[in-house]
Amino acid sequence: MQKPFMRIPYTGPLPPPIIIPRNANTPTGAIHALSNFFTAPKPAHLPNGHGTVLLTGAGISVASGLADYRGTAGTYTLNKTYRPIYYNEFLSSHEARKRYWARSFLGWTNLNKARPNSAHHAVRDLGELGFVSSVITQNVDSFHPIAHPDLPTLELHGYLRSLVCVNCGHGYPRREFQQKLSKLNPAWASFLAEMLEVGALDTENPDERREKGLKTNPDGDVDLPDAPYSTFRYPACPVCLEDPPLLADGTRTLVEIDNDGAWSSTSTAGVLKPAVIMFGESIPSDVKSAAEKAIDDAGRILVIGSSLATYSAWRLVKRAKERGMPIGVLNLGGARGEESFFQDIGAGNDGSLGVRCSENADKILPQLIENLRSMHRGWEGG
């Protein structure tokens, strides 16, 4: 029986980045090495490998105004008390769901108005230039499919743009859900309006956010110290409310709401969750298979903006290594297990056999595109 992919965070210390080749320790050197990585001949032992598959993480969305997890201004770095909700907590605890949806209610505004940045658009260009075959993203912000709808993208951990009922499986748009939350929680809605008025959700500077009492996290929520989360209310699944589903033994579930339409704790169904893979939740088998196929169909893999701290992402790079695929990592700071990915690369490597850079993706990737286009013009002119 195959081991399931599961979204489990790695909490151990990460090693310092290994810069490969050694001259990739500057932006110019990194661009040169990445150019060699993308333009190198197809590995002889992977005749069916097509292009490069990208594996992206929260770091690629920092320039869009979202925090990453482990960067210098990341959620785990700045907020030592932060811990994400786990799947079993969400399913089993009404109070945990109140806390989750209260934080999500505040954080959604910032996420909803954020847009893809220059790194996402550079990924689009890499696809159009024929260097990238597909993208696997750990991010739930939907920026990749927005920035490059024609480049195949697999959202490994789901997405925040929709919800799904854990009982009947029906989907529900997040924007409509936000409106329902606002009506059910007028005091929280007033607080949100106040935060918007003072600009607490406008700034991309984590220090300024903290000064205003807000911390926006990569999963689209806001950490609000000492907030009365127990007062928050959330709606029931409208499909379950209309027709409560049956249990496996044929028993009809119960879905009840209060006078305002909020889910009641007497209910046994009708629970909506974000359409994301929460920590501790298994990735669906079809998504797992699609991710593995994307690795197997490619000739190279480049990790962008990820420390590979979740097992589901790290395992994909491990799979690429076992296939003998050249590996690249463009990430500020260390990455889980990176020493094993590059240990057999010789000193004469110019980036063609593997590359490791510790640079900002939104700065490096657009310059990489310009360099690749210049190289292409030179080939045509020659």
- Would you state the pLDDT for residue 367? 97
- What are 116-168's pLDDT values in tens digits? 999 999 999 999 999 999 999 999 999 999 999 999 999 999 999 999 999 99
Give the integer Cα–Cα distance in Å for 274 and 365.
31
- Would you state the pLDDT for residue 12? 65
Q: Does the annotation list 165 as a binding residue?
A: yes
Q: Does the annotation list 357 as a binding residue?
A: no
CATH number of 22-63+117-157+283-381: 3.40.50.1220
- Would you state the pLDDT for residue 272? 98
Give the integer Cα–Cα distance in Å for 172 and 234.
13
- Would you state the pLDDT for residue 218? 44
- Would you state the pLDDT for residue 163? 98
How big is the chain, counted in residues? 382
Question: What is the dihedral angle through the alpha carbons of 353, 357, 362, 364, rounded to the nearest 10 degrees?
Answer: -70
Residue indicated by tokens 């298979």: 289
Give the integer Cα–Cα distance in Å for 382 and 190.
64
| Crossing angle of helices 94-113 and 186-197, rounded to 10° | 30
- Would you state the pLDDT for residue 207? 62
- Would you state the pLDDT for residue 243? 96
- Would you state the pLDDT for residue 49? 86
Alpha helices in 132-255 (DSSP H): 143-147, 174-184, 186-197, 206-211, 238-242
pTM: 0.88
The dihedral through the CA atoms of 185, 188, 192, 198 has a sign that is: positive
Give the integer Cα–Cα distance in Å for 347 and 125.
31
- Would you state the pLDDT for residue 376? 76
Low-confidence ranges of the chain (pLDDT < 70): 1-12, 67-83, 201-227, 378-382
Give the integer Cα–Cα distance in Å for 107 and 174.
12
What DSSP element (H or E) covers 58?
A: none
- Indicate the residue type of 284: P
- What are 177-226's pLDDT values in tens digits? 999 999 999 999 988 888 777 777 665 455 665 666 555 544 455 555 55
**77, 296, 315 from 322: Cα distances, Å:** 32, 11, 10
Q: Which residues are catalytic?
A: 157
Going from N- to C-terminal start, the domains of the chain cover 22-63+117-157+283-381, 77-116+159-276
